[in-house]
Every structure is written in structure tokens, then in C-alpha cells.
């Protein structure tokens, strides 16, 4: 079957963590809002009754609709045999996926510290303050954790030789932080060799390489979660 | 076996979402940091090598250690047959659990909008601004979603007659928001009859009632995630 993925059509955002798994797995899907527009997505969501998603992204299969990135990844891994079949490893991979979700929420809060529904320009002063602590303390705290996690197996992926959703997520984290904070990430570059190698290993997967070179990959921009505002970057 | 739960000993915090599942399920556990202190927890975490948790809470079983609330709940539900055995329902319950996690992150950001590692008093002005939009827009948005979700089955729980982790989470959300925003929640009280009924149904489960009446239940306080600061509350 072909899945319907619904997500905002002009940004990578949280949808990208799902797109990468679908693409890497060679799983057929239609990126519905890119074909039909965001208004069609709002209508589709509104028509889903008591189990409507809280927010995009969501994935529609014949028998089930799943929202929340980490839940969609769990569903795809189960149904398509992606990643590890060992239960203990599956809990570990999911745990890391949820820590990525925490990081993503903090990344969004850097440019929207006071009101997620208001404009960046309405909270720029607070964002500058939030970005300082995020660059100095939070980026190393999260990346230290992921770098250590990558040391548990021989790699290149978290579970070893087989990729899973969290490898796609860590690729996206590295790419996104490099786009959002080029000066800070350049200063930290030498500290995270395993994460850098993981980023390159994901990008070199043939299906991912083809995706990244295609028009299906939306470019980073200042409407998404990772946003490059020079005033929020710095070496330290 | 008896699990070891590790979490900050003086707050409900994220650990409470795990404690409630353990208590409701009659599952044996030791709340280790309440016995041995937070320093013992820091030492335990530091000694866990490449798969150390990012942060408490974490649950130690004979064969696996699991962190991240939603992952721990998934593990406990799988291992103890809690909730639904239907795969589609399991994805739905987990999806809601992850939306609760999003709400919890936003609740924490209300009193720590700029720097999660700094004091509340250092970001009180920003917190007042953040609380205003949170009370007016975010509380109804989340509670509307959960209220609608409770309309899909006959109840009293999300999956119908059998409780699961997300019911414990929604109980905690209602209790926590009532503590943190008594004026706002009083103004909204009539809008969420299913959530109010769910709260009461969870509190009336004999194992939960016994827990809530015991010294094992830490009281709400202004060190946790739900914090009552009068200047952050309001009728609208």
C-alpha cells in the first residue's frame, strides 16, 4: 500500500523525521499537503472526529492513522521490520528518539521562548537570551549524550550495522544545528566524531542520497524548526 | 521482581507519570532516590556508561534499563499486559501519551521560558507573558483534544473499561493544572466533563486511592513542573 503523509508543505519541520524514514526504507508514500496544499490538510484533520491528530505530521494507512513523530516511527519500524528485533534495543532506540523530540522542542523554543503562536520579531530580545544558554549549555548536553550512545556499538548506526528511525533523527539534528548555528557548530565540530560519522553514513545511504538530491527535500528556511537568525548564533 | 525507579525525591515531576502506573498496576518498585537521596541517583546515572539515561526518571529491571516517561510506560504496559492488546489502540494510546509529554514541556516552559537551568525569579517577567498565552490558548487547545479523545469510547478511560498509562497521565494533568492555575481551571471547569470524570475515575481506583492517601505521594510544590505562582494565574 501507499501511505498518505500529511505535513506542512513548505518546511522540513517535524515531518522530516518521518520523511527520512519513509525514504530510507523505500516505503511508498504520498506527501499529501505538498500535492493538495495546507488547506486540504486542515480539512482532512478536522474531519477525523474524536481521534483527530493534535497536530501534523500524521500518517494514514489502510487500517490506522498515527500522529506524533516518535509514534509514527515506532509504527513504521514495527510494520516494515526496520531497525532491531530485540526488545531491549527497541526500548533504547525509542528512548533516544524521545530525547531527540525533547531537543527539537527546545530548538523551537529558542526562537519562540515566550509565545509559540506569536511572531519571532515579537520575542526577539527573549530569543537572544534563550539562544545564549542554549548554545552554551544545552547543545553540548544533548550532543554529549548522543555521542556517548553511539559508542555502545561498533556503528555506524546506533544499533550497529542496521539503521533505524533514530539514526535518521540524529542526521537531521546534526544537519539542522549546523544550519541554525554555523558558528557554534564549527566551534564544537571536533568534539563529536561519532555524530559526524553517523551524519555522513546516513547521507550516504543510496535511498537517502537520492532523496536529499531531489525536489522532495524541502530546503532549510526560517519558517521551520531549525532557523538561521545570525543574531542567535555565536562561537560560544 | 521489584523494579528500581530513580527520580528526584522531593517533587512529583515527570516521575509521577511512572509512579502512578506502577501504583495502579500493583507493580512492586523501590523509589530509590527517596530512600537513598539524589546524590546516589547522580552516582548511579554516571556509572551507567554509554546507555546512561539523559535524565531521570528511569526504571531498572533485571534485564533492561528504560528512561523517558513514554518509553517506560510502553515497557510497563507490554510487560504487565496493561491497557489494550490491540495494536491500533496501542499506537493511539502512545500518541496521546506523547501529546501529554508535549504539554508537560510547555507547562515547564511557562515558569522557565528563557532558561531551563536558571531560577524562576530570573525570568519572572517573561514567565508572566508566557503564562498569559498559555492560559488563554494552549490550555484549551490541549484539553479540547483530550476531551474529544475521551468521546471515542464509552469510558471512563481512553480505551474504554481498561485503564492504561495515558489515563494516569491525564489524571495528573488535570490535578496539576488545577493546582497551578486554580482560577483559570475554575473558569474552564464546565467545558471538560469527560476529563473531570476521568480524573475522578482514576482517583477512585482502589490502588490509586491508597497511593494518593499515602506518604509515597509527594505533594505539589513550587520545585516541580506544575508550580502555583499566583502572578501566573488568571480567570482568562
- Identify the pLDDT of residue A218: 97
Please judge whether B95 and A66 are an interchain contact, meaning their C-beta atoms are less than 8 angstroms apart.
Answer: yes
What pLDDT was estimated at residue A194?
A: 97
B119 touches A: beta carbon within 8 Å: no
Residue-level pLDDT at B27: 98
pLDDT of residue B173: 98
Per the listing, cell 508572566 goes with: B128
The pLDDT confidence band at residue B115, using thresholds 50, 70 and 90, is confident
Mean pLDDT score across all residues of chain B: 97
Per-residue pLDDT at A111 exceeds 90: yes
Q: How far is A194 from chain B (nearest CA, A)?
A: 13
C-alpha cell at B104: 508537560
Q: What is the mean pLDDT of residues A147-175?
A: 96
Q: Which value does ipTM take for this structure? A: 0.97
Residue B114: pLDDT band with limits 50, 70, 90: confident
B5: β partners: B31, B59
User: Cell 526560517 appears where?
Assistant: A222
pLDDT at A116: 84
- Kind plus residue range of the DSSP H or E element containing B20: helix B15-24
The CA distance from B116 to B122, in Å, is: 11
Domain boundaries A87-205, CATH class: mainly alpha
Residues B93-120, buried b or exposed e (16+ Cβ, 10 A)?
A: bbbbbbbbbbbbbbbbbbbbbbbbeeee
Decide if B114 touches A, using CB distance below 8 A. yes
At A114 the pLDDT is 87
pLDDT-based confidence at residue A115 (cuts at 50, 70, 90): confident
pLDDT tens by residue, A126-138: 999 999 999 999 9
Tens-place pLDDT, residues B183-226: 999 999 999 999 999 999 999 999 999 999 999 999 999 999 99
pLDDT level of residue B116 (50, 70, 90 thresholds): confident
At B57, is the secondary structure helix, strand, or coil? coil
Encode B227-236: b = buried (16+ Cβ within 10 Å), e = exposed.
bebeebbeee
Query: Following CA atoms A203, A206, A210, A213 in sequence, which dihedral angle do they give, to the nearest 10 degrees?
Result: 30
- Partner-chain contact B92 A51, CB within 8 Å: yes
C-alpha span between B199 and A204 (Å, rounded) = 50
Average pLDDT rounded to a whole number, residues A93-120: 94
- CA-based torsion, A194, A199, A204, A206: positive or negative: positive
Contact A148 B99 (CB under 8 A): no
pLDDT for the residue A85: 94
Give the global pTM. 0.97
Which residues of chain A are within 8 Å of residue B165 when distances are taken between CB atoms? none
Does the beta-carbon distance from A95 to B137 stay under 8 Å?
no
Interface test with A, best of B114, B139, B147 (most A CBs within 10 A): B114
**What is the DSSP secondary-structure string of chain A?**
--EEEE--TT--TTHHHHHHHHHHTT--EEEHHHHH-HHHHHHHHHTTGGG--SSS-EEE-SS-EEESHHHHHHHHHHHHT-S---HHHHHHHHHHHHHHHHHHHHHHHHH-SS-TTS-GGGGHHHHHHHHHHIIIIIHHHHHHHHHHHTTSSSSSBTTBSS--HHHHHHHHHHHHHHHH-HHHHHHHGGG-HHHHHHHHHHHHSHHHHHHHTSTTSPPP-TTSSS---GGG----
Question: Does residue A117 register a pLDDT over 90?
Answer: no
Q: Quote the CA–CA distance of B10 and A222 in Å, as a whole number.
A: 41
The pLDDT assigned to B138 comes to 97
Interface check B98 vs A, CB under 8 A: yes
In angstroms, the CA A29 to CA A133 distance is 39
- Give the model's pLDDT for residue A25: 98
Look at residue B128 in the predicted model and tell me its pLDDT. 96
- In this predicted model, what pLDDT tens digit does every residue of B24-75 receive, in sequence order? 999 999 999 999 999 999 999 999 999 999 999 999 999 999 999 999 999 9
Tell me what pLDDT residue B96 has.
98
pLDDT band at B1 (very low <50, low <70, confident <90, very high): confident
pLDDT of B213:
98
pLDDT value at residue B5? 98
Signed CA dihedral, A204, A70, B79, B103: sign only: positive
Say what the pLDDT of residue A34 is. 97
What is the reported pLDDT for B117? 85
* A143 CB within 8 Å of a chain B CB: no
The domain limits of chain B are: 87-205
Q: Which residue from A63, A68, A117 is facing B98, i.e. has the nearest CB?
A: A68
pLDDT confidence tier of residue A184, bands split at 50, 70 and 90: very high
User: Nearest-CA residue of chain B relative to A98?
Assistant: B68
Mean pLDDT of A170-182: 98
pLDDT exceeding 90 applies to what percent of chain B?
96
The residue-averaged pLDDT of B83-99 equals: 97
Q: Give me the pLDDT at residue A42, please.
A: 97
Q: Which one of A17, A48, A98 would you mutate to disrupt binding with B, by most B Cβ within 10 Å of its Cβ?
A: A98
A163 in reach of chain B (CB within 8 A): no
The predicted structure's pLDDT at residue B95: 98
Return the percentage of chain B with pLDDT > 70, whole number: 100
C-alpha–C-alpha distance, residues B100 and B14, integer Å: 11
Q: What is the pLDDT of residues A16-60, one digit of tens each?
A: 999 999 999 999 999 999 999 999 999 999 999 999 999 999 999
Cβ atoms within 10 A of the Cβ of B23, count?
22
| A70:B115 CB<8 A | no
Looking at beta carbons, which residues of chain B come within 8 Å of A118? 133
| Coil, strand or helix at B189 | helix
Task: Give the C-alpha separation, A202 to A53, whole Å.
Answer: 29
Q: B116 vs A174, which has greater pLDDT?
A: A174
Q: What's the DSSP call for residue B219?
A: P
Best to test chain B binding among A75, A91, A131 (most B CBs inside 10 Å): A91
Is any Cβ of chain B less than 8 angstroms from the Cβ of A102?
A: yes
Considering only CB atoms, A126 lies closest to which of B51, B87, B113, namely B113
Buried b (16+ CB within 10 A) or exposed e, A113-143: bbbbeeeeeebeebbbbbbbebbeebbeebb
Question: Where is B30: in which H helix or E strand?
Answer: strand B29-31
Q: Which of A111-120, A224-233, B83-92 has the lowest mean pLDDT?
A: A111-120
Chain mean pLDDT for chain A:
97
Rg of chain A on CA atoms, in Å = 18
Amino acid at each position: 500500500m501507499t501511505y498518505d503523509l500529511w505535513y506542512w508543505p513548505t518546511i522540513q519541520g517535524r515531518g522530516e523525521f518521518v520523511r527520512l524514514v519513509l525514504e530510507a526504507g523505500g516505503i511508498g508514500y504520498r506527501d499529501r499537503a505538498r500535492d493538495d496544499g495546507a488547506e486540504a490538510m486542515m480539512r482532512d484533520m478536522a474531519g477525523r472526529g474524536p481521534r483527530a491528530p493534535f497536530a501534523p505530521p500524521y500518517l494514514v494507512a489502510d487500517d490506522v492513522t498515527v500522529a506524533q513523530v516518535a509514534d509514527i516511527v515506532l509504527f513504521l519500524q514495527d510494520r516494515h521490520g526496520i531497525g532491531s528485533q530485540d526488545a531491549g534495543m527497541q526500548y533504547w532506540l525509542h528512548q533516544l528518539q524521545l530525547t531527540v523530540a525533547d531537543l527539537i522542542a527546545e530548538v523551537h523554543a529558542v526562537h519562540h521562548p515566550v509565545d509559540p503562536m506569536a511572531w519571532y520579531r515579537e520575542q526577539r530580545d527573549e530569543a537572544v537570551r534563550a539562544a545564549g544558554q542554549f548554545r552554551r549549555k544545552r547543545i553540548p548536553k544533548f550532543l554529549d549524550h548522543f555521542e556517548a550512545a553511539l559508542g555502545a556499538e561498533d556503528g555506524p548506526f546506533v544499533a550497529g550495522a542496521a539503521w533505524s528511525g533514530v539514526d535518521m533523527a540524529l542526521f537531521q539534528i546534526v544537519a539542522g544545528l549546523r544550519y541554525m548555528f554555523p558558528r557554534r557548530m564549527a566551534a564544537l565540530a571536533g568534539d563529536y566524531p561519532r555524530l559526524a560519522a553517523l551524519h555522513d553514513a546516513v547521507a550516504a545511504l543510496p535511498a537517502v542520497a537520492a532523496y536529499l538530491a531531489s525536489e522532495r527535500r524541502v530546503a532549510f528556511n526560517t519558517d521551520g524548526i531549525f532557523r538561521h537568525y545570525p543574531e542567535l548564533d555565536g562561537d560560544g
